[in-house]
Amino acid sequence: MLETSDAAFGVGHFRHLTGNWDDIKFSPVIRGLKSHAKAARDNNKGIDPYIPRFEEQGETVIRTTNQLVLQSVSTDPTLHCNTRAVMLDMLRSTENSDMKDKRHQMWLLKWLMGQVRRSELKTSAAKRKAGYEGPKRSASKDAGLGSMYIIRREDSGPRIQDGPTTVNVSGNDPGRCLSKTETRKKREGLKISELVACGASMN
């Protein structure tokens, strides 16, 4: 598992290329590799969308994706030449094509794809959580009702939301305004005409 630069790329070759990971920082390099890995995955039409784990894709698909990542890094005009060299060396040095155990082949690419998927799952979960607000409602201010609002909902008739003032909704005495407690009791069966009449009586 790749955790830090010392754990995976702390050998002399990469320390020399990066100035002991001081001149070229490890975290931005990994972020860049993730971005290129995601782009390669999205552009590889051979990837089976029903196989979420990249390492379980077919060997041909994995190798093709690896080549797409290498090509993407090689042709990215925004990369500094030294950073590009580090990225390419990291990918090529972890291909391990001579190893019989395929789990060790292209392990950095597989790890990057796992990180991309984990990030996407977290983003999707956060969006679902933020987007859950119960039944959707739309409110519009009625100019004839002062500070009162009419809230229209698909599952019921017009209802009111208390504002700073109170209005008469009894339909009996236009000169009498109900308290907020009484107003809440009169929510059901409220007629628009009664609200308009009350608004006019208050002016």
User: pTM for this structure?
Assistant: 0.59
Q: Given this model, what pLDDT does residue 133 score? A: 52
Cα 99 to Cα 114: distance, rounded to the nearest angstrom = 21
DSSP assignments along 32-98, one per residue: HHHHHHHHHHHH-TTS-TT--SGGGS-HHHHHHHHHHHHHHHHT-TTS-HHHHHHHHHHHHHT--TT
- Residue 138's CB is within 10 A of a number of other CB atoms, namely 8
Q: Domain limits of the chain?
A: 5-131, 138-202
Tens of pLDDT along the chain (203 residues) come to 444 444 778 888 999 999 999 999 999 999 999 999 999 999 888 889 898 889 889 899 999 999 999 999 999 999 999 999 999 999 999 998 888 888 889 999 999 999 998 888 888 888 888 876 545 544 444 444 344 333 344 444 444 344 444 434 444 554 454 455 554 544 444 444 444 444 444 45
What are the angstrom distances between the C-alpha of 188 and each of 15, 137, 184?
74, 17, 9
Pick the closest to residue 61 from 119, 109, 93, 29 (CA basis).
109
Q: Given this model, what pLDDT does residue 4 score? A: 42
The two structure tokens encoding residue 155: 């599952």
Pick the closest to residue 159 from 167, 170, 150 (CA basis).
150
Q: Given this model, what pLDDT does residue 144 score? A: 42
Cα 82 to Cα 189: distance, rounded to the nearest angstrom = 73
Q: Given this model, what pLDDT does residue 142 score? A: 42
